[in-house]
Structure 1
C-alpha cells in the first residue's frame, strides 16, 4: 500500500474523529443560544429542547453522531461493537422525542407526531437489520478483525442484539408505550454504551503502555481514560443522589446528560490526540515524505 494512499486514509479517519467533536459543539452552541434567549432558564432535559428552535440541530446532530459512531472503527472489536450499538441508539433518541408532560396519552398527541415516530422508527429497524447482516458478512470476510473473535467483541454483539431486540419488541407489541417511553429507554442504553467504551479504552491504553515498558497492564490501569470512566460513574451516582433521591438538584436529567456528554466529548478529544497518527492503537501510519 503506497504511503500516499495511507495518508489519504489517515486524513479521512481524522475527519471522522474531528466531525464528532464539531457536532457535539454544534449541539452545545445551539443549546446555549436558546438558553441565553430565555435568561438561562433551562429545560428539564437536553432532549426536551426537541420542542424548541433547537429541534433541527438536535435531530441532525444526533443522527450524524450516530453515523460517525457506526462508521468509526474502534481500536478493538469490543469498542467497535459498543460504538455501533450506541450509534444505532442515537437514531432512536433522535426519532422518538421525549415527552414534556408528566403523563403521556398517545391519543392526546398530535397525529403527525405519532405518524412520524411510527414511520421513522419502522424504517430504522428495517434498515438496521439489513445493516447488521451486512456487517456480519463483512466480518466473516475479515478473519483478522472478526467481531466475534474475542470475549469483548462477543459481549458487544450481545449488548447490541439485546438492545435492538428489546426496542424492536417494545415498538411492535406496545406501540403506545414505546411512543411515550422509547426515548428514555434508548437514551439510558446509549449512555451505558459510551461509558463502557471509555472503560475499554482505559484497559486498552494500559495494555499499550505495558507493551512499551515491558510491564503488566495492571501497573498502568490508573490512566487518563480509566479516571474518565470512574468520573462518569461518580457523576451518575452524584446526580442521582442530588436529583431523584434527595430532590436537591432541579432539572437533574439535564445536568446528568450534560455531564456525560461533556465527559465523553473530553474523552474523544483526548483519544483523538493520542491516536492522531495511529487509527489503531500501537499501529501508526507514517505520512509521506515531503
Structure 2
C-alpha cells in the first residue's frame, strides 16, 4: 500500500472512532435537552430507552443505528475483538428498533403507540435487519474465501471460536423469540440486546488490556502497563454499572432513576475508554492501527 493510501485508511479509522463518541454524546445531550426544556426541570424518565417516546426519539434511534453501523464497520485488532464488535453493532440495532415499555411518570408521552402499532413496527424493522444481516454475512464469507491462506492473522483462534459460539447463541435465541414468540420478543429483546451489547464491549476492553503491553513493545514499556491498568479499571467500573442496571430493572423497581443514572455512566465510561484507546493508537507510529485494514483496502 502506498503512503497516501495508508494515510487515507488510518484517517478513516480515526474519524470512525471519533464519530462513535459524537453519536453517544448526541444521545446524552438530546435526553438532557428533553429534560431541561420539555419537562420544566421537574421530571426524569426512568431510563434513556424510555425517551424513545419523547421528541428525543429520532436522536435515540438514529444514534444507535449509526453506532451499530460504526461498530460493525470498525475492524477489531484481533479476531475475537472483531466478533465482539460485530455482535455489539447488531445488538445496537435491536435496542434501537425494539422499544422498551412506555414510562408515564412525566405525564403523557409525546409519541404514544398502541401495542398493535409497536408490534407492526418491530415486525417491519427486525425483518429488514435479519435479511440484511444474513445477506451481509454471506457476502462477507464469500469475500473472505481463501483469505486465511494468504494472511495467517485472519485464522480463527480457539478463543474467537468460543466467543463466536456464545454470540451466535444469543443471536439465535433472539431470532427464535422473534419467529416463534413475537410478544415475548417485544417484551424481552430490548433488555437482552442492551445488556449483551455492553457485556461484549466489556470483553473488548479486557482483550485490549491484555494486548496493551504487546502493542508497546517498541516504545517505552511502562506505557503499555499504564494503558492496561486504565482499560481494566474502566471495564470493572462498566461491569459494576451493568450489574446495577440489570438488578435494578429486574428487582428494585422502587429505586427511581437508578437505571437512568447507570445507563448514563455506561455511556460516559464507553466514551472514556474509546477516547483513551484512540489516543493510544494515535500515538503509536509503527502502523499498529493501519495493520488491520490493509487487507481490506488492497
Alignment of 1:247-286 (within 5 A): 249-276=255-282, 282=288
Query: Which one of the candidate residues 119, 126, 148 is aligned to 2:124?
Result: 119
Residue 133 (1) aligns with residue 135 (2): no
Alignment of 1:1-290 (within 5 A): 1-37=1-37, 38=39, 39=41, 41-100=43-102, 109-143=114-148, 144=151, 149-209=156-216, 223-237=229-243, 249-276=255-282, 282=288
Greater mean deviation of Cα atoms: 233-242 or 126-135: 233-242
Greater mean deviation of Cα atoms: 162-171 or 37-46: 37-46
The question of whether the paired residues in 1 share the 8 Å contact of 2:213 and 2:221 is answered with no
The question of whether the paired residues in 2 share the 8 Å contact of 1:90 and 1:187 is answered with yes
Supply the distance in 2 between the matched residues of 1:239 and 1:196 (Cα, whole angstroms).
Answer: 18
Supply the distance in 2 between the matched residues of 1:70 and 1:274 (Cα, whole angstroms).
Answer: 21
The question of whether the paired residues in 2 share the 8 Å contact of 1:199 and 1:229 is answered with yes
Supply the distance in 2 between the matched residues of 1:45 and 1:85 (Cα, whole angstroms).
Answer: 23
**Unaligned runs of at least 5 residues, structure 2:** 105-112, 292-298
**Unaligned runs of at least 5 residues, structure 1:** 103-107, 286-290
Residue by residue over 1:217-256, the C-alpha shift from the partner in whole angstroms, topping out at 9 and shown as x without a partner, is: 9x77952111111222233445667786677842222122
RMSD, matched Cα:
2.9
Supply the distance in 1 between the matched residues of 2:234 and 2:30 (Cα, whole angstroms).
Answer: 26
2:295 counterpart residue number: none
The question of whether the paired residues in 2 share the 8 Å contact of 1:21 and 1:265 is answered with yes
**In the superposition, relative to structure 1, how do residues 101 and 45 fare at CA in structure 2: closer, same or farther (>3 Å)?**
closer
Residues paired across the two proteins, number: 278
Greater mean deviation of Cα atoms: 14-23 or 248-257: 248-257
The question of whether the paired residues in 2 share the 8 Å contact of 1:78 and 1:147 is answered with no
**In the superposition, relative to structure 1, how do residues 82 and 234 fare at CA in structure 2: closer, same or farther (>3 Å)?**
same
**C-alpha displacement at 1:261, in angstroms?**
1.5
**C-alpha displacement at 1:157, in angstroms?**
1.6
Supply the distance in 2 between the matched residues of 1:121 and 1:155 (Cα, whole angstroms).
Answer: 26
**C-alpha displacement at 1:111, in angstroms?**
3.0
Residue by residue over 1:149-191, the C-alpha shift from the partner in whole angstroms, topping out at 9 and shown as x without a partner, is: 2123223321331121011001011011111222111111111
Supply the distance in 1 between the matched residues of 2:19 and 2:251 (Cα, whole angstroms).
Answer: 37
When normalised by structure 1's length, the TM-score is 0.85
